[in-house]
Amino acid sequence: MDHKWVLPAPALSREDPAVAGVSPKGAEKDRGKSERDPAALDAEDQHHTTDKLREDRGVGERTGKEWLTFISSEIHKGFGPLWSPATPEEARAATVEKLNQRFAYLDRHLAEQSFLLREGFAAADAYLFTVTSWAALLKVDLSSFGNLKAYLCPSPTREDAHGAGPPVRS
């Protein structure tokens, strides 16, 4: 019986070309792991389904899962260090900078449509609204993200906000 010994791979730094890339959303790519794991797994599952079932489940569902994953891993988790008063100022600044990269991506996306999904308000919007509202509490300035701010505080005249979405603030 042949045995092959596999040695663990050496640790890589963020500067290493193998892990230095980032996705279009600004999420760091982990070796062998996509930032859209649930959506990617769903896509693999759909690969083995009929065309009719694929049409019924649609792109919107996968996109919704992708948004939920992005919000969870990049926004919600991104705020983590800011909750601790023991976080050094240098680490806080780095955390805010990383969050600002994510907010810039969201701001560009929200320039094109009112909600995360074309279909309208969805669970991902409620989640984003909730975690992004922490910015005020944790003193993260969102003033340079006009589309994101408009999303968080919709105008009472915004047609697509009536009957859907986060509460309209006056």
Dump pLDDT digits (tens) for 7-63.
454 444 445 444 445 555 555 554 444 444 555 545 554 554 444 444 444 544 558
- Asked whether residue 112 is domain-assigned, the answer is yes
- Asked whether residue 68 is domain-assigned, the answer is yes
Number of domains composing the chain: 1
- Asked whether residue 12 is domain-assigned, the answer is no
| pTM for this prediction | 0.61
- Asked whether residue 7 is domain-assigned, the answer is no
pLDDT tens for each residue of 111-128: 988 899 988 889 999 999
Distance from chain centroid for Cα 32: 19
Query: 55 lies in which domain range?
Result: 37-161
Closest residue by Cα to residue 110 from 152, 69, 74: 152
| Percent of the chain surpassing pLDDT 90 | 46
CATH number, position 102: 1.20.1050.10
- Asked whether residue 87 is domain-assigned, the answer is yes
pLDDT tier for residue 5 given thresholds of 50, 70 and 90 = low
Cβ-proximal residues to 31 (8 Å cutoff; 6+ apart), any chain:
12, 18, 19
- Asked whether residue 1 is domain-assigned, the answer is no
> What angle do the packed helices 37-47 and 51-70 form, to 10 degrees?
170
Q: Are 26 and 101 in contact (CB under 8 A)?
A: yes
Q: How far is CA 144 from CA 43, 72, 154, in A?
A: 35, 22, 17
| Percent of the chain surpassing pLDDT 70 | 54
pLDDT tens for each residue of 81-96: 999 999 999 999 999 9
- Asked whether residue 73 is domain-assigned, the answer is yes
Tally the C-alpha atoms within 13 A of residue 122's C-alpha that lie toward its C-beta.
Answer: 17
- Asked whether residue 167 is domain-assigned, the answer is no
pLDDT of residue 127: 95
